[in-house]
Amino acid sequence: MFHSNTELLIDYWRATKGDAPLPARADVDPAAFASLLPQVFIAGRRGSGVYPLRLIGEFVIDLHARGLRGEDLSQLWARGHRIELQLALEQALGRCEPVVISSEGATDAGASLRLEVLFAPLAGPGGDADRFLGLYQPTSAVAHLRGRPVRELLIRAVGGADARSLPPRLRLAAVDGRRLA
């Protein structure tokens, strides 16, 4: 179960796609989710692992304290989390299903913010899944950041928005100091 705003955008995505595998970017009407626009972004795809930000809501810009248009969204994530992000996004595109990443935004001062980041794939003019409608939904108080920008995002969990959630993250276990796979 996700935050009600995340669910609202997922429901809009599903209603917009109808019987098609994906909704087309041209069919997305921002007026349908106007209250969420400050938290919304659209990212493209230029090859596996490169996702340039195209449109970015003011909340997202303010959270990172800089203009983000044209930046690769994967660079907003901690280096050690970028491969997992890429795998989740490529699976979302391949499955034509949204993915929600439970994440934590960290500041240089050690403050943090929990949020859900939705990535709902969209079809471009050629009909291919080549972009995402996204949402930054805080699940903890933004005031804890005390106006400091989020420098990097960390992945806490990855889940699909449908019943077929993404495969679980690999975890290592240790018994008596010995690692087990």
Residue 162 banded pLDDT, cuts 50, 70, 90: low
Task: Find out whether 37 and 25 touch, Cβ atoms under 8 Å.
Answer: no
Residue 139 falls inside a structural domain: yes
Residue 65 falls inside a structural domain: yes
pLDDT for position 167: 44
Number of domains in the chain: 1
Residue 139 banded pLDDT, cuts 50, 70, 90: very high
CATH number, domain containing residue 117? 3.30.450.20
Residue 180 falls inside a structural domain: no
Structural element, H or E, at residue 105:
strand 99-106
Q: Which amino acid is at 123?
A: A
Range 11-17 contact pairs with CB under 8 angstroms and sequence separation of 24 or more: 13/98, 13/120, 13/133
Number of Cβ within 10 Å of residue 58's Cβ equals 11
Task: Find out whether 135 and 5 touch, Cβ atoms under 8 Å.
Answer: yes
Residue 160 banded pLDDT, cuts 50, 70, 90: confident
Averaged over 33-50, what is the pLDDT? 95
Residue 170 falls inside a structural domain: no
Residue 179 falls inside a structural domain: no
Residue 11 falls inside a structural domain: yes
Task: Collapse the DSSP code of 40 into the 3-class scheme (helix H, G, I; strand E, B; otherwise coil) and give the result.
Answer: strand
Q: Which of 115, 121, 120 is nearest to 157 (CA)?
A: 115
pTM of the entire predicted model: 0.87
Residue 116 falls inside a structural domain: yes
Residue 52 banded pLDDT, cuts 50, 70, 90: very high
% of the chain at pLDDT higher than 90: 84
- Sign of the alpha-carbon torsion through 48, 54, 60, 63: positive
Query: Among 16-25, 36-45, 119-128, 155-164, whose mean pLDDT is lowest?
Result: 155-164
51 DSSP 8-state letter: -
**What is the span of the domain harbouring residue 18?**
4-159
Residue 171 falls inside a structural domain: no
pLDDT tens-place string over residues 77-127: 999 999 999 999 999 999 999 999 999 999 999 999 999 999 999 999 999
